[in-house]
Structure formats: C-alpha cells, structure tokens
Chains A and B, each alone.
Chain A
Amino acid sequence: MTILVIQILNSLFYAAVLFLIAAGLSLIYGVMRIVNLAHGTLYALGAYVSAWIVGSAFGHFMSGTLGLVGLLLLLPLGAVAIAAVGAAIEPTLLRPLYRRPEEYHLLLTFGLLMILEDVMKLLFGGTPLSAGSIMDHMGSIPIGRLIYPAYNLFVIGIGLFAAVGLWWFIYRTKFGVILRATSQDRRMAAALGINVGLVYVQAFAIGCFMAGLGGAVVVPAQAAVLGMGVDALILSFVVIVIGGLGSLEGALVGALIVSFVRTAGIQFFPEIELAVLYLIAAAVLMIRPTGLFGRA
C-alpha cells in the first residue's frame, strides 16, 4: 500500500515536469504552427541555468543571508532566462520561416538544437550540475513506514499551479483571447488590429518559459546532464501526440498518461517501457490523429 502511494506520487511528480515541458511545446505549436525540435534542449538549458544560479547562491544560504524560500525563489530565474532566449530566437530565426513549408521549421529548430546543445557544453562543461542542496534542506515526510522527499510534493504543487494558471491565462484574460484569436486565424487577427508579430514573440517566450521552468523544478531532484533535452523532447512529443497538438487539456492528460504508464512500465515491464509509450503515441495518431483533445 505504501509502495503504491509512493509510486503514484512519483508518477505525479514526473507528470508535473512533463506537463510543464509539453504545455510549452503545445502552446508554441497551437499559436505558431511550429514544431520546435529545440524545445527539449531549452528545458535542459533551463535546468543548467537554474542549477548554476542556485549553486552560486548556495554560499549565502549556508551563511544564513538567504533562506530556503529565497533559494527556491531563485529557481524560476532559470526559466526567465530561457524566456529571454526564446524572445531573441523568434524574431531573428523563426519569423522568416512562417511562409515556408513545415520541413524548414523542423530543420531550423533541429539546427538550433545542435547549437544549443553545444552552447550548454561550452558554458557549463561536461560534468553534471545539480541543485540537490534544495532537496536536502527541504527534508522529507513520512508515508507509512517509509519517507518521501517533501520537494517532490512541492513540484507536484507547481505543476498543478502551472496548469491552473495557464488555463486561467489562456481562457480568462484578454491576452488569452488575443492569443486564441491569433492561433485560429492569423490574418483576421492582424486585420482587427492585433500586433501579430508581438503576440508570436510573447507566445514563443511563454512556451520557452514553461520549458525552462520544467528544467528549473527538476534540477534539485535530478542533476542536469548533457543529452537530457533530447530524451525529454521525444517524451513530450508523445505527450502532445496523445493529448492533441496545440491543446492545453491534452498536454495535462497526456502527461498523466505517459507518467503512469512509465511508472507501471518500470515496475512491471522494464524492457519495453519506452517502446510501449511510442506505440501508444503511434496508435493514437493512427486512430485519432488530432489526439484525445485536439481540434481538427
């Protein structure tokens, strides 16, 4: 029973991280119709930047000038940095491509992936970078006869908060209306006086922020390593394919499905754990190409 609770919590933790990444990917596709192959790498960059910031500030924490809350508040700085990177990429590299076929979007973002992977290596070196100090100092809570890190519960909370926040932002604010209008009909939105270029920059930056936040919350639990982005990209692809490209609810449900299947897979069928996920994605694409929640 205790094991089951812990496994469910693990799945939820994993779902929260996956949701953050996939929601950003989905948002970017939904608004701009761009499949960003560099998205996973932006997540990894977020993890590195956050770990680096926390690592630099750790001395202040130990000397008592910075509390645990302060250290936690430093984490999102990594996400902000990634949002800034996104805001720089969109107008310079992506904007010339909107009129061109999709092949070029994939190629350009693939090139971006290669560049960013090496930029990370250049900036942070090949050794894993961790912010584990946060997790250590948050302690753990007892579950049955076992203990569970409190930080994981914190991340699940962040995931929930992000899901609700994003939903509110897209469906309940004026900017959300503009965003949805632009995603449905770009030219009509422009004709109504919306600055479409600005909306695109903002949407891309928000998507990148989500990826960066995913990296920021994961890095106290798992060290940032080279290559983590490439793996994460494919899993978040699976998530949004299951949920539906461009759908927020889809990203949430997809993240939950992928996490629970993966946790069950590691427990019961470890050899084909990944293969099952890809097969589920392929099956969804075959039966219902727009995903569970996608529109045509």
Chain B
Amino acid sequence: MTMAPNRTGPSIPRLFGVAVVVLIVLAILPYVVDVYQTQLLTYGMVFAIAALGFNLLLGYTGLLSFGHSAYFGTGAYTVAFIVRDLGAHSMELCILGGLLGTFVVAALFGYVCVRHTRIFFGILTLALSQVLWSLAFKFFWVTGGTDGIRVASANLTLLGGLVDFKGRGAFQRFVFAYYYYVLVLFAVSVVVMWMIVHSPFGKALQAIRDNEVRAGFVGIPVRRYRWIAFVISGLFTGLAGILWVPLNGLTTPDILYWPFSGEIVFMAVLGGFRNFTGPIVGALAFNYLKTYAVASSEYWQLLLGLVLVVLVLVLPTGIVGSTARLYARLFRRA
C-alpha cells in the first residue's frame, strides 16, 4: 500500500496521447450508440467528476469523507432553486450559482472538519451532511420534501442561450447536446485536477497524507492546506451535482442522504483511489454496474454489496491498480 499516485507514471507526451485518443472516442460515441447509451455515459462522466473531486481528499490528502453527498446535493439544489425561484434559463448561470453555493457550504463544513483526521473526520463529515439532508427532507415548502424539485430540460439553454430545447425532438437534441457539454466540462475538470495534484500544492498534500508531523515541520501549513483541498474537492463534487440535475430532471433528498456518500466512496475504491485515473474508471464502471444491476434484479444492492466486499478483501487497489499490477507482471515476464 505504499504505491504513491503516479510515482512511476508514464511520460507526459504518452499520457497526452492516450488522453487525446480517449477524448476522440468519447466524442464519436454518440454517433454510434443510441440515445439511452449516450445518456448513460453522460451520467457516468458526471459521477466521474464527483469521484475525482472526492479523491483529492481520500487519495491525495488521506482524509476519508463520508459526507460528500452534501456538496453534490448543494450543487443540485442550488440549480433547482435558481431555475425555479429566479426563473433563470442559462445553464452557465446555474453552474456559477451552484459553484458559489457549494463553495460556501464546503468552506464552512471544511473549516469545521479539518480540525480532525481519521475516523472523527469521517463521522463529522457524515453528521454535517445529514444536517443538510434533514433540512431538505423537512422543509418541504422550500425543497418539495421527498418529492424534490423538478428541473425540466426544456427550460434550460446552453452556451448563453445559443442552444435551446423547444419544439419537436427536443429530448433527443438535449441528450445529444448535453453529452458534449458534459464531456467538455469533464475534460476540463480532469485537466484542472491533474494540474492541481501535480502542482507543488498537490505534492504538499501528499506529504501531509504520508506524514503529517513531518509535513508540519517542513513548514507546510497542514490545516490550511487540508481546508483548501476540502473546498476544491467539494467544488468538483458540487459541479457534478449541478450537471446531474438537468440530466435527471429532478432533485430529491436522496442525493443528500449518507448512502449516496457511500456510493461516491464506492466509485473511488472500485477504480482504485491510489491512482489518478482510478476514480474516473471507477465512476464509469459503477454507473454501468448499478444501472444494469437495477435493471436486471430487484436485489441489486445485494450484488453491489458483494462486489464491494470482494473488492475490499481481494482487490484493494481497485480496477486500475490491479490492472496496472497485472500489466507490470506480464510485461516483466515477457
């Protein structure tokens, strides 16, 4: 378990090449697959952004948050409020407003939570996220209670009003356009996160993760850096929540409830939280796994639970970590 993220990663030009190929494949896909698959992949990318943000804390700072539903939900509910109460149509406005809302919540919660580490950090993040859940649940005249708030895609416009979704075939057009919208933001998120974790700040976070006391002696302001990491992590997850709402068409308290936080953790671990790409792969895989499990069986939770238990016991490095190790072993043997 001493494998640091990207310690022996591939060279930057090669990485860039792989990223370009993946991006081209993702860009072509909607022309090949049907509307449903396009939509499913959009969900996957949205969750990937959430898991990517989450992993800045778990993988790079060594803090396990069990309350990331709070930021996902804050983003989602802020968008719903903006659309419903302010009557706004511009998705860009929603993103700005949602990020602002998430920033406030993440900064506040983070300030409280980073005073602790380990299990206390986990429980504190969980308790605070449940405050938001209970508010969304109880103040039904504001949040619609368990009915949630509807955000119709027909009311939204993309790119400052250039693309709208009125008239015939609106739904198909929305799925198609929104896929590319999310794809661009997903790519931007990945690049930004890559820059963050490879910046001196990112290295400092990893130093804190590996040895907090030593990092403090070197002169790293441990608590403040954790706080900043917390806020950045919350913002990424918040962005995911913002993008999720128009796709889902509805926001309910379920995304604030703590089992959803557990699902975000699940995604990161499924892909492998010791790798940069782990949470991305994990979120995409989790999305397919859950969708098909729900579709095929009433007992999908049982299936997901078994996957998680096996993962923890047998493959703690996740899909990416295990594949990398297998690849390395085969490569060495050849």
Partners in one complex: yes
B305 and A282 contact, CB distance less than 8 A: no
Q: Mark A104-121, 1 if CB is under 8 A from B, else 0.
A: 101110111111111101
B138 close to chain A: CB less than 8 A: yes
B127 and A119 contact, CB distance less than 8 A: no
At the interface with chain B, which of A130-138, A185-193, A247-255, A272-280?
Answer: A272-280
B327 close to chain A: CB less than 8 A: no
A106 and B128 contact, CB distance less than 8 A: no
At the interface with chain A, which of B87-95, B98-106, B223-231, B262-270?
Answer: B262-270
User: Cα distance A246–B154 when bound, in Å?
Assistant: 53
At the interface with chain B, which of A55-63, A94-102, A162-170, A176-184?
Answer: A94-102
A234 close to chain B: CB less than 8 A: yes
B58 close to chain A: CB less than 8 A: yes
User: Cα distance A208–B273 when bound, in Å?
Assistant: 31
Contacts of B300 in A (CB 8 A): 118
B305 and A111 contact, CB distance less than 8 A: yes
How many chain B residues touch A (Cβ–Cβ < 8 Å)?
Answer: 45
Report if A237-B306 is in contact (Cβ < 8 Å); known contacts: A106-B66, A272-B135: no
Contacts of A271 in B (CB 8 A): 138-139
Q: Which B residues from 279 to 334 make CB contacts under 8 A with A?
A: 298-302, 304-309, 311-313, 316
Number of A-B pairs, beta carbon distance below 8 Å: 124
User: Cα distance A123–B138 when bound, in Å?
Assistant: 32
B118 close to chain A: CB less than 8 A: yes
User: Cα distance A115–B302 when bound, in Å?
Assistant: 4
A118 and B301 contact, CB distance less than 8 A: yes
User: Cα distance A26–B304 when bound, in Å?
Assistant: 27
User: Cα distance A96–B124 when bound, in Å?
Assistant: 27
Report if A278-B298 is in contact (Cβ < 8 Å); known contacts: A111-B308, A285-B124, A286-B112: no
Report which A residues bind B (CB closer than 8 A).
Answer: 35, 37, 93, 96-97, 100-104, 106-108, 110-119, 121-122, 230, 234, 237-238, 241, 245, 270-275, 278-279, 281-282, 285-286, 289
Starting from the known contacts A234-B258, A282-B124, 5 additional A-B residue pairs (CB-CB under 8 Å) come to A107-B312, A110-B265, A111-B307, A234-B130, A275-B138
